[in-house]
Amino acid sequence: MKRDKTSKQAAGKQAALSPEVLRGIVGGAQPQEKRKIDGDMAAAMTAGMNDGHGNAPSATQTPSAQQAKTDAVAKAGNPDAKPPAESKVPLSKDEVKDIEKHFRENVGNKLPELNQKNEVKGTYERDLVKGGPGKWEVKSSAADSDKKDNAAAQQNHQPNSAPPSGQQPSTDYIKTAQKDAKTAFETGMTKALDETRKLAKDVRSAGDTLSRAQDAHDLSSATVKLAEAKLKTAVVFDKGQDEARGKLVDALVQHERNIKALADAKNTHDEVKQKHDGAQKALEGFKKVLSKTDDDLPRKAAGDDGTRPRANTAPAPLGANDGAQIAKQPEKTAEPEKSRTEQLKDEVKKDAWKNGVMVASKALEDVAKQAAKKDGTYEKRESSDVLAGGVSKDVTVKGKTTTEVVKVAQVKTESETESYSSAFGSGKSASKSIRAEAGYENKVTHDLGNGRSQTVTDKAYAGISGEAKAKYTITPTSIDAEAAAKAVAHAELRHTETTKIGIVETTKTTYVEGHAEAGVKAGAHLGFDGVKIGASASASASVSAGTSGEVKIGDAVKAGGDVKVFAEAMAEAKANAEVTFDPLKGTAKAKVDVGAMASAGIGVEGKGGLFNAKTGSGVGVGGSYSVGAIGVKFKPDLDIKDGKMDLKVELGGALGVGGNVNLQIKGDLNKAKDNFVASTKIPIPSVWIASSIVGFFS
Amino acid sequence: MIDQNSTPEEIEAYKAELTSAAEQLEATTREHILARAAAEGWSSSQATWLDVIAKQPLLQAVADGTPLLTALEQAYADARRTLTTGYFNNALDERKNRYTAFLTVIDLEKQLAERRGETPPAYPEDILLAACRAVEDAAARGLSSEDQIATGFAVIRELSARAMN
C-alpha cells in the first residue's frame, strides 16, 4: 500500500480513536446494521488498538480515527477499498476495555482470519434451515487478504514506519479470546472424558457378555458334534436312534439360540466400541489442541520473541502511561514482523495443530449426533413424492425369448432433513430435489441353450433435476455453515448387446450421451483455528458418443484388459481335428539357426538332445514338400561315406499340409545296422498301446 | 560288418539288410503309434502326424543303440508335445493372441478326452485365466512355445491341487 506524505503528516496529528468511532466500526457501515462477523470488520476493529504486545500503539502506529472508520466501513462493503490508515495516539485503558467489550459482543471469542480462495459475492437465505445462523453475507476476496498482507510486509520493511493497521488484533483481545477458547476446549474435553469413561465401562461390560456368549456357543457346538456322533453310533448299532436323534435336535435348537446370542453380543460390543472410539478420538483431538494452546499458537500469535509474557497468561492491566512507554521503545526494523494473518496462516499450516482442530471438530459432530440419538433429540426425515406420471414395467415371455419394457414419465421430488442437539453440539441440515424425466428401456433376452444367452437392450432417456442443500453445525469449538445448489440435465441413447456363455458375459455398448451440470457451493467455518470462508461455482456440459465393451466372468473376476482378451479367447480357441498346419515348422525354423553347424559337418540339431557330438550323429528335418503326394510312404536311401551311415528317408503322404518330410539319420554304420536288426526282433508289447503318459503335456 | 576293404557286393548286401530293418521298424512302430494315438483320442490326421514326427528321433535313437521300447516311448511323448506345440504356434501364426493359442491347446485336451469317451476336464475360469497370464509371462521372459505351454499346465495343476485341498 502506498502512503503519501500528506497522510503521514496527517497521521502524526491524529487524535485517539474514540470508542464511538470504534462502535461505529463494530456496528458496520450503518449504526443500525447488526453484522455477525466479517474478517475485514474484525481487522478494522483492531486497527488502532494495541501493538500486539498488550500495549497501546505508539504515536506512529495509531491511525486516524476518522480515516480508520471511513476505510473500515468502505472496506467492509467494498473489497477494493483500501484498509484503514494508522492511528498514532495511544488509547486509554477504559477505551481499550470498551473496545474489547464491543468486540466480544459482536464477534465472540473467535480469532478472525481470512482464508478464502475465491471471490464471494452471494447472499444465502436461511429458508431451508430453520434456526440457522440467519442471513449472512460475505463480500471479500483472497486478493484483498493478500493485498493487505503484502502491504503489511512492505511497511514492516520501512524503518520508522507504522505497522500495518487493520491486520493485528490487540494482545488483550488475543489473550482473552485465547483464554475463552481454551476454556471452551477444556469444557469439551471434560465432557468427552466423562463420555469416554462411561463408554469404556460399557465396552468392558459388552466384552464380558460377548465372552460368555462365545463360551456358550462353543459348548453348544461341541454338544451338537457329540450328539451327531452318538446318532451315528446309534445308526450303526441300530439301537437308540430315536433318543439320539431327539438329543441332536435339542442340541441343535440350543446351538441355534447360542449362535443368535453370540451375534447379538458381537453387534452390541461393536456398537459400543465404535461409540467409545469416537469419544476417544474427540478426547485426543481436545488434548492435541490444548497442548498446542499452551505453547505454539499464543506465543507466535502475539509475535512473542521469548522475552515477552506468554499470550495465554492473564493480561497485565494497562497503566495510563503504558502506551507512551511502548511508544518510546525502539522499533524493531531488522526483521519485518509478520502480519497477524500470516502468523495465523502459519499456525494453521502446522499439521499437528490443523489435525488436532479438525479431528476435534469432526469427532465432536459425530459424538454430538450419537449423543442426540441417545437422548432422543436426533431426528431425520426422508420423503419422496411423484407429482405426476410414474414408472411402468411390462415383462413378456415367449418361448425362449423374454421381453422387458420399462417406461418412465414422471416428475418426482425427494427431501431429507436432519436435526440433532446434545451437550456436544447441535446441527441441522435439509436438502430438496425435484426431477422430471422421461424415457424407455426395451430389453430382449434370447436363451440360446447350453448356458448361452444374448440380450439386446435399447434405452432412451432424458431428465432434468434441481437440488438445494443447506447445513449448519455448532459445537463448543466451532460453527460451520454450508449451502449448495445444483442443476443437472441429462439425455442419452444407448444400444447394448450382451452375450453370455457360461459365466463369461461380454457386453458391447453404443451410445450418445449429453450431460450438463451447474452448481454453487459456499461454506464458512468459524472456529478456534480461525475463520474460513469458501465458495465455488461450477458449470460443465458434455456430449459424448462412442462404443464401449465390458467383460464379466462370474462374480469373482473383475473386468480388465486381460479378462476381456481371455473371454474373447474362450470364444475363439478351437483345435481342429484335421491338422492343417505344419507341426514341425517351429523345429524347422530352429534348424535354420544351426544351419552353419550342419554344413560344417558337425551334424544338425535334434530335439531332445539326440545330437551326438562325439559320433557326429543327429537328426535333421528337411522342409522339402511336394504338393499332391498321396499316401504315407517310407523311402530309405542309404549312403555310406567314410564309414559313416547317412540314411535319407523320405516320408510323405496325406499329412494335412500335403507335403513330404525328409528325414536324415546319421550314425556309426555297423552299430546302426546291428541296432536296427536287433530292434526288429524285439516285439512291442500290445500293452504299450493302452498305456498313457501321465498328464497331457507332461 | 563292413569297412573300407569291403567289396561292393558286401556293401550292397549290408545296405539291403539295413534298409529292410529300417523299413520293418518303421512299419511296426507306425502301427503301434497310430493305434496308441487312436486310443488316446487323437484323430486320424493327428495320429499320422504323431507318427511322422516320432519317426526321426525314434530311428536315430535306435541307430544310436537305445532300446526300442524306450526310444519309442520317448519319441512318442516328444511327438505329442511337438504336435500340441504346433497347434499353439499355428494359432499365433494366424495372428491370434497368446490366450487364444493356449486355450486352443486346452480345447485339444478336451477333444481328446471326449474322443476317448471320458468326461473332458473343466478347469475353473479363474484358474484358466491365471494359466493364460502365466503363459503370457513366460513368453515375455523369452521361453520357448513348448515351455510356455508347460508353464500354463503347471499353473493349472498347482491351482487345481490347491482348490482340491
A340-349 and A351-375 are packed helices; what angle lies between their axes, rounded to 10 degrees? 70
Q: Which ipTM score applies to this complex? A: 0.88
Q: How many CB atoms lie within 10 A of CB A350?
A: 14
The answer to whether the CB of A412 falls within 8 A of the CB of A385 is: yes
Helix or strand holding residue A497 (H, E) = strand A478-501
Q: How far apart are CA A41 and CA A62, in angstroms?
A: 17
Closest CA to A48 of A94, A74, A25, A17: A17
**Cβ A583–B149 below 8 Å, yes or no?**
no
- How many angstroms separate the CA of residue B46 from the nearest CA in chain A? 6
Mean pLDDT of B115-143: 91
Mean pLDDT of A251-278: 85
- How many angstroms separate the CA of residue A678 from the nearest CA in chain B? 9
* B136 pLDDT higher than 50: yes
Place of cell 540339431: A605
- How many angstroms separate the CA of residue B120 from the nearest CA in chain A? 12
Mean pLDDT of B37-62: 90
The answer to whether the CB of A432 falls within 8 A of the CB of A129 is: no
The answer to whether the CB of B148 falls within 8 A of the CB of B91 is: no
| Residue A613 touches partner B, C-beta closer than 8 Å | no
Window from A164-173, A207-216, A259-268, A309-318 with minimum mean pLDDT: A309-318
Q: Which residue of B has its CA nearest to A660?
A: B52
**Cβ B35–A579 below 8 Å, yes or no?**
no
Q: Which residues in chain A have Cβ-Cβ distances shorter than 8 Å to B108?
A: 575
- How many angstroms separate the CA of residue B103 from the nearest CA in chain A? 6
Instruction: Please enumerate in sequence order all residues whose Cβ is within 8 A of that of A404, keeping only pairs 6 or more positions apart, or say none.
Output: A393, A394, A395, A396, A441, A442, A443, A444, A445
Q: How confident is the model at residue A689 (pLDDT cuts 50, 70, 90)?
A: confident
Most confident of the following: A341-355, A451-465, A630-644: A451-465
**Cβ B68–A682 below 8 Å, yes or no?**
yes
* A349 pLDDT higher than 90: no
Q: Best mutation site among B64, B88, B128 for testing chain A: the one with the most A CBs within 10 Å?
A: B64
- How many angstroms separate the CA of residue A640 from the nearest CA in chain B? 9
* A192 pLDDT higher than 80: no
DSSP string, A270-286: HHHHHHHHHHHHHHHHH
The mean pLDDT of chain A is 62
Residue A477: the pLDDT is 65
Fill in the amino acid letter for A68. Answer: A
| Cell numbers representing residue A389 in the block | 406420471
* Rounded percentage of chain A residues whose pLDDT exceeds 90: 2
Residue A175: the pLDDT is 64
Q: Is pLDDT larger for residue A415 or for residue A514?
A: A415
**Cβ A656–B45 below 8 Å, yes or no?**
yes
Q: Which residues in chain B have Cβ-Cβ distances shorter than 8 Å to A506?
A: none
Considering only CB atoms, A608 lies closest to which of B64, B78, B107, namely B78
**Cβ B108–A575 below 8 Å, yes or no?**
yes
| Cell numbers representing residue A529 in the block | 483455528
Closest CA to A93 of A131, A55, A58: A55
Residue A291: the pLDDT is 65
Mean pLDDT of A34-62: 39
Residue A164: the pLDDT is 42
| Residue A657 touches partner B, C-beta closer than 8 Å | no
Q: What is the pLDDT of residues A419-438, one digit of tens each?
A: 998 877 888 888 888 888 88
* A279 pLDDT higher than 70: yes
Q: What is the pLDDT of residues A661-681, one digit of tens each?
A: 666 777 777 788 888 888 888
Q: Is pLDDT larger for residue A136 or for residue A465?
A: A465
- What single DSSP character describes residue A654? -
Q: Best mutation site among B18, B112, B147 for testing chain A: the one with the most A CBs within 10 Å?
A: B18
**Cβ A557–B125 below 8 Å, yes or no?**
yes
**Cβ B18–A582 below 8 Å, yes or no?**
no
Q: How confident is the model at residue A412 (pLDDT cuts 50, 70, 90)?
A: confident
Q: Is pLDDT larger for residue A397 or for residue A233?
A: A397
Q: How far apart are CA B102 and CA A423, in angstroms?
A: 68
Q: What is the pLDDT of residues A573-600, one digit of tens each?
A: 889 888 888 887 654 333 332 222 222 2
Q: Is pLDDT larger for residue A644 or for residue A78?
A: A644
- How many angstroms separate the CA of residue B61 from the nearest CA in chain A? 7
**Cβ B86–A503 below 8 Å, yes or no?**
no
Q: What is the pLDDT of residues A289-299, one digit of tens each?
A: 666 544 443 33
| Residue A573 touches partner B, C-beta closer than 8 Å | yes
Considering only CB atoms, B25 lies closest to which of A578, A679, A691, namely A679
Measured CA to CA in angstroms, residue A89 lies from A24, A51, A55, B109 at distances of 19, 12, 12, 100
Residue B92: the pLDDT is 93
Considering only CB atoms, A556 lies closest to which of B97, B105, B126, namely B126
Q: Which residues in chain A have Cβ-Cβ distances shorter than 8 Å to B62?
A: 675-676, 679
Q: How confident is the model at residue A326 (pLDDT cuts 50, 70, 90)?
A: very low
**Cβ B56–A690 below 8 Å, yes or no?**
no
Q: How far apart are CA B77 and CA B36, in angstroms?
A: 11
**Cβ B125–A554 below 8 Å, yes or no?**
yes
| Cell numbers representing residue A356 in the block | 488436532
Q: How confident is the model at residue A634 (pLDDT cuts 50, 70, 90)?
A: low
The reported pTM is 0.38
Q: How far apart are CA A552 and CA B113, in angstroms?
A: 28
Q: Is pLDDT larger for residue A657 or for residue A216?
A: A216
| Cell numbers representing residue A325 in the block | 512507554
* B135 pLDDT higher than 90: yes
**Cβ B106–A640 below 8 Å, yes or no?**
no
Name the strands in the sheet holding A633-641, side by side, starting at the edge strand that comes first in the sequence.
Answer: A619-621, A661-668, A644-652, A633-641
**Cβ B96–A572 below 8 Å, yes or no?**
yes
Q: What is the pLDDT of residues B83-109, one digit of tens each?
A: 999 999 999 998 899 999 999 999 999
Considering only CB atoms, B40 lies closest to which of A581, A643, A692, namely A692
Q: What angle do CA A211, A215, A219 make, to 5 degrees?
A: 170
Residue A200: the pLDDT is 86
**Cβ B52–A665 below 8 Å, yes or no?**
no
Residue A6: the pLDDT is 40
Residue A306: the pLDDT is 38
Alpha helix ranges (H) inside A534-616: 561-572, 585-593, 595-599
Strands A530-553 and A504-527: antiparallel
* A96 pLDDT higher than 60: no
Q: Which residue of B has its CA nearest to A566?
A: B99
Q: Mapping DSSP to helix (H, G, I), strand (E, B) and coil, where does residue A229 land?
A: helix
Residue A102: the pLDDT is 54
Residue A660: the pLDDT is 55
- How many angstroms separate the CA of residue A595 from the nearest CA in chain B? 18
| Residue A376 touches partner B, C-beta closer than 8 Å | no
Residue B79: the pLDDT is 93
Q: How far apart are CA A450 and CA B119, in angstroms?
A: 16
Mean pLDDT of A25-52: 39
- Sign of the alpha-carbon dihedral angle for A133, A134, A140, A141: positive
Q: How many CB atoms lie within 10 A of CB A523?
A: 17
Helix or strand holding residue A551 (H, E) = strand A530-553
| Residue A665 touches partner B, C-beta closer than 8 Å | yes
Window from A331-345, A547-561, A577-591, B135-149 with minimum mean pLDDT: A331-345
Q: How confident is the model at residue A547 (pLDDT cuts 50, 70, 90)?
A: low
- What single DSSP character describes residue A158? S
Burial pattern A277-289, b for ≥16 Cβ within 10 A else e, equals ebbbbbbbbbbbb
Q: How many CB atoms lie within 10 A of CB B96?
A: 19
Q: How far apart are CA B126 and CA B162, in angstroms?
A: 13
Q: What is the pLDDT of residues B57-72, one digit of tens each?
A: 898 899 889 999 999 9
| Residue A618 touches partner B, C-beta closer than 8 Å | yes
* A683 pLDDT higher than 60: yes
Q: How far apart are CA B133 and CA A562, in angstroms?
A: 8
Alpha helix ranges (H) inside A129-170: 142-157
**Cβ A647–B22 below 8 Å, yes or no?**
yes
The answer to whether the CB of B45 falls within 8 A of the CB of A656 is: yes
Closest CA to A522 of A486, A483, A487, A485: A483
Mean pLDDT of A484-499: 83
Place of cell 472410539: A277
Closest CA to A174 of A264, A104, A87: A104
Q: How far apart are CA A309 and CA A224, in angstroms?
A: 75
Residue A698: the pLDDT is 65
Q: Which residues in chain B have Cβ-Cβ distances shorter than 8 Å to A695?
A: 153, 157
The mean pLDDT of chain B is 90
Q: Best mutation site among B33, B50, B129, B157 for testing chain A: the one with the most A CBs within 10 Å?
A: B129
Residue B99: the pLDDT is 94
* A180 pLDDT higher than 60: yes
Mean pLDDT of A448-464: 85
Closest CA to A166 of A309, A17, A313: A17
Q: Is pLDDT larger for residue A446 or for residue A241?
A: A446
| Residue A651 touches partner B, C-beta closer than 8 Å | yes
